[in-house]
Structure 1
Amino acid sequence: MDIEARARAYSQNLSETDREILSYILEHKEEVTKLGIAELSQLVHASKSSIIRLTKKLEFKGFSEMKFYLEQSMDKQQVSSYSEQALMQLQKQDLEQTNRLIQQTDFTDIIYAMYQAETIYCYGTGFSQKNSLSELSQAMMYKGKRILTFPAKREFDMNMPLISRKDLVIFVSLSGETDAIKENIDMLTLRKIPTISITNLIQNYLSDKAMYNLFYSASPIFLTSQMKDEFYSFISLKLVIDTLIRKYFEYVR
């Protein structure tokens, strides 16, 4: 969840002072990312403790994490604006960045965890994510691996007691911030059950909690300047899934 979304979600908990500080931050994002907390304190005429309290109310760990999200938000706006001019170039950028991430990733422990698992459980947070997992499921079954993909959270919840440390759970998400499955993630972490997260390239709750992480680059596309809703292509996610399948086939061979 980016800073604008957090501002909307927690607006009822903010005081007048909080709102004034937040208003300045949102209007001067680039400037704030270069400031220390003491400098921002002077500019907004508020104490450092007031700024820290605001970051906590927005569920950031602190001022530094909030600045990180500000930078991510700025990058997202720049990409969205550019995508209106060159959608095919944006596709190329996503694929190239995802490929670089793949080249930089050591798959050894991930593939070994998949190989050792008695059962691989999979959950995708959206339609496209579930489709990608269906390809992984077919490939794993072809190699004789027992794999179960949950069509909905209800089925995931029902099977939670059956999942053990001998198994593996793979999550595929765009934001990695789906509130509905945070309880499941926390319980799996508590029980020390191996998990793999596959998410968009941004710091998120799911990747922080998972034992292993894979990332893809998916930039939002605005088809017209008037559109507020974001559309995402998951071609780069398919590249990660395809790589995971090929790496696994190489290992078992």
Structure 2
Amino acid sequence: MKLEELINKHYNQLNANDFHIWNYISNNKHECQKMAIDQLAYKCNVSRTTILRFAQKISLKGYSELKLYLKLENEEKKISTNETEMVCETYLRVIKNIKDKDCTELFKKIDSARNIFIYGVGMVQSSIKKELKRIFMTAGKILYDLSGYKESEISLSMANSDDLFIIISVSGENDFIIDFASKLKVRNIPILSITKMKENTLAQMSDYNLYISSVTFLDTLKDVSYDSVTSYFILVEILFFKYIEYLKEKGE
């Protein structure tokens, strides 16, 4: 699990000092990897105990484990500037993250959900929704595609805590989606978010989180930026096969 995931997961347990520490760390990951706890405490103008408590609040055993996470993440970012290698590295990260992720609680909810709704705005999100619907239908799961603001509002009036909403957002910061997620939370309706691997509001509000890594090329042959989106489909397919394995184990 990445540090961004841990921050999203334990967001509600963090205070102003914790966010101040995280802001410094996230902007200076390479420097922090080499710092002793007293040095980081000095940089953040807090006590070493506050640094230790921050690490523990995000489920780490202590400062040494925090530095280990930084070391591993910094090493992952040392990738080639060659476009083909960059894309392949990105796919490998997505594969490893979803392969190693414990999805048991999510699968229990998918298995028991009365209705499963999918919401997302944009061409990429629309394609991912179609793939989710197609692939999970083969496992006997019908997913309801919400394609507009009006449909999402109607579904909200029909849904309850026995349902599951899958919300796809690249940034996790779309104003309408955040407002929609807030309404779901008020009604105690579970949310699965699919976003980029970074600290974001939607992930922090969600009960279950899935993340993708992506790469943007700003200088293509036609001087047009290009976003690699295949990671989403890799994530969805591996998630599906993990779900099938879960069902088989459950049947046994």
Fold match (TM-score > 0.5): yes
Bigger Cα displacement from structure 2, 150-159 vs 203-212: 150-159
- The Cα of 1:125 is off from its aligned counterpart by 2.9
* 1:173 to 2:175 alignment: no
Bigger Cα displacement from structure 2, 137-146 vs 92-101: 137-146
Task: Summarize deviations over 1:38-72 as a string: whole Å, max 9, x none.
Answer: 8699xxxxxxxxxxxxxxxxxxxxxxxxxxxxx9x
The 2-side partners of 1:113 and 1:236 are apart by 24
* 1:129 to 2:131 alignment: no
Q: Could you say if the C-alpha distance between residues 160 and 143 of structure 1 is closer, same or farther in structure 2, counting changes exceeding 3 Å?
A: same
Q: Could you say if the C-alpha distance between residues 90 and 162 of structure 1 is closer, same or farther in structure 2, counting changes exceeding 3 Å?
A: same
Contact 2:95 2:238 in 1 (8 A): no
Q: Could you say if the C-alpha distance between residues 120 and 226 of structure 1 is closer, same or farther in structure 2, counting changes exceeding 3 Å?
A: same
Task: Summarize deviations over 1:87-118 as a string: whole Å, max 9, x none.
Answer: 11111111111112113310111111111001
Q: Tell me which residue corresponds to 1:247.
A: 242
Q: Tell me which residue corresponds to 1:232.
A: 227
Give the 3-state SS of the residue equivalent to 1:187 in structure 2. helix
Q: Could you say if the C-alpha distance between residues 127 and 37 of structure 1 is closer, same or farther in structure 2, counting changes exceeding 3 Å?
A: farther
* 1:142 to 2:133 alignment: no
- The Cα of 1:189 is off from its aligned counterpart by 1.2
- The Cα of 1:143 is off from its aligned counterpart by 2.8
Q: What code does the residue aligned with 1:138 have?
A: R
Contact 2:104 2:246 in 1 (8 A): no
Alignment of 1:25-40 (within 5 A): none
Unmatched runs of 5 consecutive residues or more in structure 1: 1-24, 42-70
- The Cα of 1:130 is off from its aligned counterpart by 1.7
The 1-side partners of 2:115 and 2:189 are apart by 12
Task: Summarize deviations over 1:155-182 as a string: whole Å, max 9, x none.
Answer: 1122211111111000112111111211
Aligned partner of 1:159 among 138, 152, 155: 155
Contact 2:220 2:226 in 1 (8 A): no
Task: Summarize deviations over 1:2-48 as a string: whole Å, max 9, x none.
Answer: xxxxxxxxxxxxxxxxxxxxxxx9xxx759x869798699xxxxxxx
The 1-side partners of 2:220 and 2:139 are apart by 45
Alignment of 1:65-80 (within 5 A): none
Aligned partner of 2:184 among 185, 188, 193: 188
The 1-side partners of 2:106 and 2:186 are apart by 20
The 1-side partners of 2:111 and 2:227 are apart by 31
Contact 2:115 2:164 in 1 (8 A): yes
Instruction: Work out which of the two has the higher radius of gyration on C-alpha atoms and give 1 or 2.
Output: 1
What is the number of equivalent residue pairs in this alignment?
189
Q: What code does the residue aligned with 2:190 have?
A: P
Q: What code does the residue aligned with 1:88 have?
A: T
The 1-side partners of 2:139 and 2:222 are apart by 48
Q: TM-score, normalised by structure 1?
A: 0.64
Task: Summarize deviations over 1:186-226 as a string: whole Å, max 9, x none.
Answer: 11112111111111110101110000011110122112599
Q: Tell me which residue corresponds to 1:20.
A: none
Q: What code does the residue aligned with 2:139 have?
A: K
- The Cα of 1:251 is off from its aligned counterpart by 2.9
> RMSD in angstroms over aligned alpha carbons?
3.2
Contact 1:119 1:145 in 2 (8 A): no
Give the 3-state SS of the residue equivalent to 2:193 in structure 1. strand
What is the identity percentage for the equivalent residue pairs of Structure 1 and Structure 2? 25
The 1-side partners of 2:188 and 2:44 are apart by 41
- The Cα of 1:243 is off from its aligned counterpart by 1.3
Contact 2:99 2:238 in 1 (8 A): no
The 1-side partners of 2:138 and 2:153 are apart by 27
The 1-side partners of 2:125 and 2:179 are apart by 20
Q: Tell me which residue corresponds to 1:111.
A: 107
Q: Tell me which residue corresponds to 1:95.
A: 91
Q: TM-score, normalised by structure 2?
A: 0.65
